Amino acid sequence: MNINKTICAAALGLLLSSTTATAKDGLDITFLGTNNCMVKVTEHKNIILLPIEEAAPEAVVNVLANGNIKQRLHVKLAVSRIDYYVPLDIAQYEGQKVLLDIQTESNRSLSRDIQDEACWESMKLSDSFDTTNREHFRPLFHHTPLYGWMNDPNGMFWKNGIWHLYYQYNPYGSMWQNMHWGHSTSRDLIHWEQQPVAISPNGLGTVFSGSAVVDHANTAGFGKDAIIALYTSAGASQTQSLASSHDGQTFDIYGGNPIIAYHRESRDPNMFWNEKTRKWNLLLASALDHEMLIFSSDDLKSWTLESSFGRGYGAQDGVWECPDLMQLPVRGTKKKKWVLICNINPGGPFGGSATQYFVGDFDGKTFVCDTGKDVSKWMDYGKDHYAAVSWSNAPENRHTVIAWMSNWQYANEVPTKQFRSANTLPRELELFTAPDGELYLSVKPSPETELMRGEAEIHTTTAIKPEGISYSLPEANGGICEIVLDMNLRKANTIDITLSNDKGEKVVMTYDRKSDTFAMNRNQSGITDFNNAFRAVTVAPTHHKTTRRTLRLFIDRCSIEAFDGEGHFAMTNLVFPTSPYNKISITAESGNAKINSAVIYPIHI
């Protein structure tokens, strides 16, 4: 690389002294002052490897091809050390002159010597990018991006046997920025294949959350069975844009965007076909007003605002985001009710982000909630379940949801670098009537999760002795496993279920008979000190009439998902044990509780 210092005699008359950094082929770097730098690509390769330091301030990287701006990225270019590299794909500009016009913060370096910063020495051209896993805490049976940052799941639909999952994605660092729609596909909701980025930022802004549908009847005019995506363009304002596709891989951005420009901050359009009214409906989060706007349409392009729901309802502390609305069966009856999903941040029951919902009726125009304004119901009682939305066009009338398995309180700081954040396991929703007469969401792991089970280790009926009972957990693959417990509290006040390792790290889960609750304490679960909000005890109501408790636990390197056997609660919490939990112990207090069965499945993936 020829580091070619063009000296711009600044108004202050300060001149830079001339030095030459390590030369690398194919990149010509010119320093133009205290905060501007141009990188000219002089040799064709597929990728520029950008060196990242997460503690560095963001630089604005304008990518130009033949003088036209193609991309504008915010990148934490390394100042003093390199945490990792991210690839900037320039293969698409082959045959054109590629230039990076980079603006660092004006106060980025107290001196004028930005050329001394680590990124210039180490920026390099390459033909490939190594995505081999480097992370100890990368889950094995949960979806993660190969590299980079992920938040909300977006635009999921099922078509021709394939589950499509899009997600809020930053390909240029493992912290939130530069929102694109990343894309992965699966045939079984468990094994995911990462696909090329599906939708990238354009002149209207970066690409925030949204939804997609399969337009069977060609109502939008993009063809029968076209895939229509609606997402938020986040520019100076948040407006709603449409894109269409035939394969889910590449999308054409609609020329008439934005299709909705509402005067208040509004985002995350979620649409579905309403069979009863034979129209499309769409929910849009009016984030700061704590309400969901309800629209209808015949053609997915022109939308009529019908009503809004939410002012004063449920948890109101944070912004309302990522809505969904679906009609669900009430278990054991022929009844169906509508459920409006509202992700809220902060304001969750244990701090930060969480998913609340409202049960009621919907006539295609207005949602009427069954309960009073002061009632809050939660889809998951852990700290790490956010932006949950459902797949559209799912087979067999399934209502399958997936969430982002993190919390905005600390998501950018969790102890991984190559990637940040996983999704939860996919889950199936319906409603059940609890002993208090209220309708609640039943949340169960999707049936596909059972296909991962290896050979079961079965422990049969036993009384829980005063000193407790322990079983060892599988060693393979960092201890990933599923544990199915069937227990009876009988006269005991509590049952404690503890996952632990040889380092004294542990997660304690407690069934309390009197309060009818299940709790999970991750205060000593392993690495917890990266953010003060991480330590937590989360608590769920169990809604049980009898003393029998059945529980499914999924452990996958950095997460524990607990599901009541009958779907009465789900609880998702991240954990970062420095070695895998290799023991489960069960103790009971003040009474003779028993284990009906304890089954431990290693997981094959």
> Site residues for ligand FRU, window 15-44 (CB under 6 A)?
none
Reported residue count of the chain is 605
Dihedral sign (CA 109, 111, 117, 120): positive
Figure out which of the listed residues 41, 179, 389, 443 binds ligand FRU, where binding follows CB under 6 A: 179
152 is known as an active-site residue: yes
Please report, in angstroms and rounded to a whole number, the separation of the first and last CA atoms in the chain: 44
Query: 322, 439, 443, 600: which one contacts ligand FRU (CB under 6 A)?
Result: 322
State which of positions 126-155 bind ligand FRU (CB under 6 A).
151-152
Round to whole Å and give the CA distance between 443 and 572.
12
| Alpha carbons 158 and 165: distance in angstroms, whole number | 9
Q: Which of 113, 152, 299, 529 is catalytic?
A: 152
Reading across the β-sheet that carries 266-274, which strands appear in turn? 266-274, 279-286, 291-297, 304-309
- Contact indicator for 410, 449 with CB cutoff of 8 Å: no
Contact between 262 and ligand FRU per CB under 6 A = no
CB closer to ligand FRU out of 320 and 391? 320
Tell me whether residue 322 or residue 402 sits nearer to ligand FRU (CB atom): 322
Interface residue with ligand FRU among 34, 71, 232, 501 (CB under 6 A) is 232
For residues 570-584, one letter each, b for 16 or more C-beta atoms within 10 angstroms of the residue's C-beta and e for the rest, the string is bbbbbbbbeebbeeb
Min dist CB 62 to ligand FRU, Å, is: 22
Type of residue at 211: S
Q: How many CA atoms lie within 13 A of 332 on its CB side?
A: 7
Is residue 241 near ligand FRU by the rule CB under 6 A? no
The CA distances from residue 446 to 152, 339, 383, in Å, are: 19, 19, 21
Q: Do 293 and 262 contact (CB within 8 A), yes or no? A: yes
Q: Is residue 53 a contact residue for ligand FRU (CB under 6 A)?
A: no
Q: Is 172 in the site for ligand FRU (CB under 6 A)?
A: no
User: For ligand FRU, which is the closer residue by CB, 344 or 443?
Assistant: 344
392 or 525, CB closer to ligand FRU?
392
Residue with smaller CB distance to ligand FRU, 167 or 272: 167
Q: Which of residues 363-402 bind ligand FRU (CB under 6 A)?
A: 387
Q: How many residues make contact with ligand FRU (CB under 6 A)?
A: 12
Least spacing, CB of residue 82 vs ligand FRU, in Å: 26
Output the smallest distance, CB 569 to ligand FRU, in A. 23
Min separation Cβ 336 and ligand FRU, Å: 28
Does residue number 229 form part of the binding site for ligand FRU (CB under 6 A)? no
Q: DSSP H helical segments within 285-404, as ranges?
A: none
Q: Measure CA 476 to chain center.
A: 27
Task: State the residues that interact with ligand FRU by CB under 6 A.
Answer: 151-152, 168, 179, 208-209, 232, 267-268, 321-322, 387
Give the catalytic positions in this structure: 152
